[in-house]
Amino acid sequence: MTVEQKVKELHHFISGELVEGASGRFSNVYNPSTGEVIAQVPLATKEEVQKAIEVAQKAFPAWKNMSVGKRAEIVMKFRQLVKDNEAELVEIICTESGKTREDAKGEITRGLESVDLAINAPHLLKGEYSVNVGGNINAFSTKAPLGVVAAISPFNFPVMVPFAQTSMAVAVGNSVILKPSEKVPMSALFYSELWKKAGLPDGVWTVINGDKETVDELLANPTVQAVSFVGSTTIAEYIYQTGTNYNKRVAALGGGKNFMIVMPDADLEKTANAFIGAAYGAASQRCMAISGAITVGKETADNFVAVLKEKVEKLKVGPYTEDDVDFGPVITNQSKEMVEGYINRSIEEGAKVVVDGRNPSICETSNGFYLGPTLLDEVTPAMEVYQQEVFGPARIVVRVETLQEAIELINDHELGNGVTIFTNNGAAARKFQEEIEVGMVGVNVPIPIPVGYYNFGGWKRSKFGEGYMFGPDQARFFTKVKTISEKWLSVDDETTTSFAFPSNEKDQ
């Protein structure tokens, strides 16, 4: 059978139906584990995006006016359908992203935390009420949905991130347009059908596949009121600057360079185990992955590297169909080459190779996009591998003499997504928490991703805009507040005209 016969042509999801692309332009979707093209996803034209936006806008008034309890009920049904179809969704995630089954299941579980919070939209939409703020006037506030909103999601989490970006937006009454990564579009199309089965009215949920042309129309179109983005820092800044230039509400989350500080008193065996999973899980393709260790003191560094070396050498890379693999391939061959470039240049700059993951043995029998785990020691802040987010299994060790030096290094970096410290010293942990300039902080927690009812977001160039992912700020981001002052007149009320600025001075 030829490759052309195997390849499936994907669609958009508009007005409750799968819709063929009309542009004639397609992007290949790969199975990273085999290197094979498994599907082609249509890339929408500007006109196709406009039509999708029109459909979403038409569906908005009825959805907005549906009771918040009924909307929450539909979200609850969606959650159950995701659980009922979890096994099939896991296979789709693994096929298009290369993740292990265990990792895919974990992603779905974390994604459902955002759905759980969205079920609580009735509580989060409650306004405030004050009686007789002055002159027998009652004041109260209400929260209203924005209208049509858009989410642009990354390849590394085909389910968790879109769920975090969209669940609350749907629950509070918006029409939502999702533009998934063209590298992993199949998951989004699958759970679009689940939204329909849950009873979501046609047009409230849309998936439009595309590239920069699609993104630019979502950013420029005046009907789209807000944009949520997760991806690289460069694109996040572009999304933020372009979207806000069109007067949109924008939350754009970028990349991270997330370090683990290892103190002299840390249990090195436990710390190394934590580092391994947080650093190499999902082939290090997580914005919250540990990028490297900053070891305090020469003895700490020497001992920690020795423990790490033994563990990293035992890690197994392979396809998700093998149950004993620790992580799978990177997403594309271009990604593989980019990570290899970082490794090669770091060696030229003086880094010491502790474990070399280039050309793993599986590459002899598979065309998948595989890289083994690489560990580089004696990396300095002047090196490119330190400065840039490396989205692949090449991790680094930076040696310092003091905790203060480690804190200053992290604070000087342009990215501030996540950071953690491993120590049993309460004073050191407190100093770290108070002085570190990073959005998400862990103490003996390797990946400090907050649970779904806390806000997720970094500092500095890891996040642009005031919106967050996860947490109650999702409800605030996707709603606008109306404040009402109300007074019921009686025959005893004064009828004289006053030109003074309104106040309650007479009632004091």
- Note if 363 is an active site residue: no
pLDDT of res. 135: 82
pLDDT band at 450 (very low <50, low <70, confident <90, very high): confident
Q: Where are the alpha helices (DSSP H) in 352-472?
A: 384-387, 403-412, 426-435
User: 431: Cβ–Cβ under 8 A, 6 or more apart, which residues?
Assistant: 403, 407
How far is residue 315's CA from residue 395's CA, in Å, rounded to a whole number?
14
Of 6 and 175, which is predicted with more confidence? 175
pLDDT band at 472 (very low <50, low <70, confident <90, very high): confident
Rounded CA gap, 306 and 310, in Å? 7
pLDDT for residue 4 is more than 60? no
Token readout for 19 is 């819709």
Residue 503, judged by CB atoms within 10 A of its CB (0-12, 13-18, 19+), counts as exposed
H or E stretch at 292: strand 290-296
What confidence tier does 2 reach under pLDDT thresholds 50, 70, 90? very low
For helices 426-435 and 403-412, angle between their N-to-C axes, nearest 10 degrees? 20
Instruction: Identify which has the larger pLDDT, 2 or 172.
Output: 172
CA gyration radius, the chain:
25
How far apart (Å, rounded) are the C-alpha atoms in residues 381 and 385?
Answer: 9
Burial of 214 (0-12, 13-18, 19+ CB in 10 A): buried
Please report the pLDDT score of residue 184 as a whole number: 97
Q: What is the C-alpha to C-alpha distance for residues 387 and 476, in angstroms, rounded to an integer?
A: 34
Q: Please tell me the predicted confidence (pLDDT) of residue 508.
A: 44
pLDDT of residue 361: 92
Structural contact between residues 413 and 390, judged by C-beta atoms closer than 8 angstroms: no
Is the pLDDT at 14 greater than 70? The verdict is: yes
If you average pLDDT over residues 451-463, what whole number do you get? 84
Q: Is the pLDDT of residue 34 over 80?
A: yes
Quickly count: other Cβ atoms within 10 Å of residue 347's Cβ: 15
* Percent of the chain scoring above 90 in pLDDT: 86
Predicted confidence at residue 5, as pLDDT, reads 46
Which residue do the tokens 């103190």 mark? 263
State the Cα–Cα distance between residues 464 and 244, nearest whole angstrom. Answer: 10
Give per-residue pLDDT as tens, 368-398: 999 999 999 999 999 999 999 999 999 999 9
Q: How many residues make up the chain in this entry?
A: 508
Mean pLDDT of 91-111: 96
Residues 6+ apart with CB under 8 A from 440: 288, 417, 418, 419, 448, 449, 450, 456, 457, 458
| Cα distances (angstroms) measured from residue 341 to each of 281, 327, 337, 379 | 21, 21, 6, 15
Candidates 287, 397, 410, 436; catalytic one: 287
At residue 419, the 3 state secondary structure works out as strand
pLDDT at position 504, please?
65
- For the stretch 395-442, pLDDT in tens is 999 999 999 999 999 999 999 999 999 999 999 999 999 999 999 999
Tally the C-alpha atoms within 13 A of residue 437's C-alpha that lie toward its C-beta. Answer: 11
Q: Are 394 and 343 in contact (CB under 8 A)?
A: yes
Model confidence over 247-294: pLDDT tens digits?
999 999 999 999 999 999 999 999 999 999 999 999 999 988 999 999
Is 1 buried (19+), middle (13-18) or exposed (0-12) by CB count in 10 A? exposed
Q: What mean pLDDT is predicted for residues 193-201? A: 98
Residues 289-302 pLDDT 10s: 999 999 999 999 99
Query: Which of 258, 275, 254, 255 is closest to 266 using CA atoms?
Result: 275
pLDDT digits (tens, 9 = 90+) for 46-83: 999 999 999 999 999 999 999 999 999 999 999 999 99
Closest by CA to 195, choosing from 57, 62, 81, 72, is 81
Q: How far apart are CA 486 and CA 316, in angstroms?
A: 67
Q: From the CB of residue 414, how many other CB atoms can be counted at a distance below 10 Å?
A: 12
Q: At which residue do the structure tokens 């949109």 appear?
A: 248
Residue 467 has pLDDT above 90, yes or no: no
Domains in the chain: ranges and CATH: 3-254+462-482 (3.40.605.10), 258-443 (3.40.309.10)
Q: How many CA atoms lie within 13 A of 197 on its CB side?
A: 14
What is the mean pLDDT of the segment spanning 481-491?
A: 89
CA dist 460 and 498 (Å) reads 50
Average pLDDT, the chain: 94
- Whole-number Å distance between alpha carbons of 475 and 465: 15
CA-CA distance, 222 to 121, in Å (whole number)?
26
Residues 215-249 pLDDT 10s: 999 999 999 999 999 999 999 999 999 999 999 99
- How far apart are alpha carbons 427 and 432 in whole angstroms? 9
DSSP classification of residue 205: E
